Amino acid sequence: MLRALATIVACTVGATVAIAQCTTVIVPVPGGANGPVSVLRRLANGDILVAGNFTSLLGLNANRVARWNGFTVTPFGTGVDGRVNDAIELPNGDIVVGGEFTTAGGAPIPFIARWNGSAWSGFGPGTGGSVASLATRPNGEIYAGGAFVERVLRWDGTSWSSIGVSPFPFPGFIWPVAAMHTLPNGDLVVSGTVVYGAPGAFYDMVRWDGTTLHPMPGLGSSPQGSGQAARFTTLRDGTLCAVGAWTGAMIVQWNGVSWSPMPGAFSAFGGAHDLCELPDGDLVMCGGFFYIAPNQQARGIVRRHNGAWSPFGSGITGFAHCLLPLPTGEVLVGGSMTVVDGQPAQGLALLVPTCPAAATPTGSGCIGSGGPLALVATSLPYLGSIQRSRATGLPPNAFGIGILGYSALALPLAAVLPPALPGCTLLATPDQLTLLPANGGAVTTALAVPPVPALVGAVLRQQVASIEFGASGITAIATTNAVRLTIGSF
Residue 36 pLDDT class (50, 70, 90 cuts): very high
Our CA dihedral for 17, 18, 23, 27, rounded to 10 degrees, sits at: 20
Task: Supply the CATH number for residue 368's domain.
Answer: 2.60.40
What value does the mean pLDDT take over residues 420-434? Answer: 95
Determine how many CB atoms are found less than 10 A away from the CB of residue 431. Answer: 12
CA distance 313 to 9: 14
Mean model confidence pLDDT for the chain = 89
Please tell me the predicted confidence (pLDDT) of residue 295: 62
Q: Are residues 367 and 256 in the same domain?
A: no
What contacts 24+ positions apart, CB below 8 Å, involve 406-411? Answer: 406/431, 406/460, 406/461, 407/461, 408/362, 408/461, 408/482, 408/484, 409/461, 410/363
CA distance 208 to 330: 34
- Residue 366 sits in the same domain as residue 348: no
- pLDDT score for 285: 96
Provide the residue type at 308 as one letter: A
In terms of Cβ atoms closer than 10 Å to its own Cβ (0-12, 13-18, 19+), residue 292 is exposed
Query: Does residue 307 share a domain with residue 449?
Result: no
- pTM, entire model: 0.89
The verdict on 404 and 274 lying in the same domain is no
323 and 383, same domain (yes or no): no
Average pLDDT over residues 325-343: 94
- Choose one of 291, 322, 353: the last residue of a domain: 353
Question: Domain with 283 in it: what CATH number?
Answer: 2.130.10.10
52, 209, 230 from 322: Cα distances, Å? 11, 27, 10
Q: Are residues 363 and 290 in the same domain?
A: no
The count of residues in the chain is 490
Number of Cβ atoms within 10 Å of the Cβ of 289: 25
Query: Cβ(31)–Cβ(376) under 8 Å?
Result: no
How many domains is the chain built from? 2
pLDDT at 291: 73
Rounded Cα distance, 386 and 54, in Å: 37
Task: Tell me, yes or no, whether 331 and 404 share the same domain.
Answer: no
Which pLDDT band holds residue 198 (cuts at 50, 70, 90)? low
Are 90 and 69 contacting, i.e. CB atoms less than 8 angstroms apart?
no
Residues 369 and 264 in one domain: no
Contact call for residues 337 and 300 (beta carbons, < 8 A): yes
132 and 275 fall within a common domain: yes
What is the phi/psi pair of residue 472, to 5°?
-95, 5
What pLDDT is stored for residue 194 in this prediction? 66
- Is the model's pLDDT at 174 over the cut of 80? no
- Sheet hosting strand 179-182, strand order edge to edge: 179-182, 188-196, 202-208, 213-216
Q: Do 401 and 267 have their domain in common? A: no
3-state secondary structure at position 15: coil
Q: What dihedral angle (degrees, nearest 10) is formed by the CA atoms of 71, 72, 75, 77?
A: -160
Boundary of a domain, candidates 353, 369, 389: 353
Residue 224 in this model has a pLDDT that exceeds 60: no
Residue ending a domain, among 323, 353, 383, is 353
Q: Are 273 and 321 in contact (CB under 8 A)?
A: yes
DSSP assignments along 221-260, one per residue: SS-S----EEEEEE-TTS-EEEEEEETTEEEEEE-SS-EE
Q: How far apart are CA 150 and CA 122, in angstroms?
A: 18
pLDDT in tens, 260-298: 899 988 878 788 999 999 988 999 999 998 876 656 678
Q: pLDDT band for position 245 (50/70/90)? A: confident
**Structural domain boundaries, residue 366:** 358-486
Same structural domain, 183 and 227: yes
348 and 227 in a common domain: yes
H or E segment to which residue 6 belongs = helix 2-9
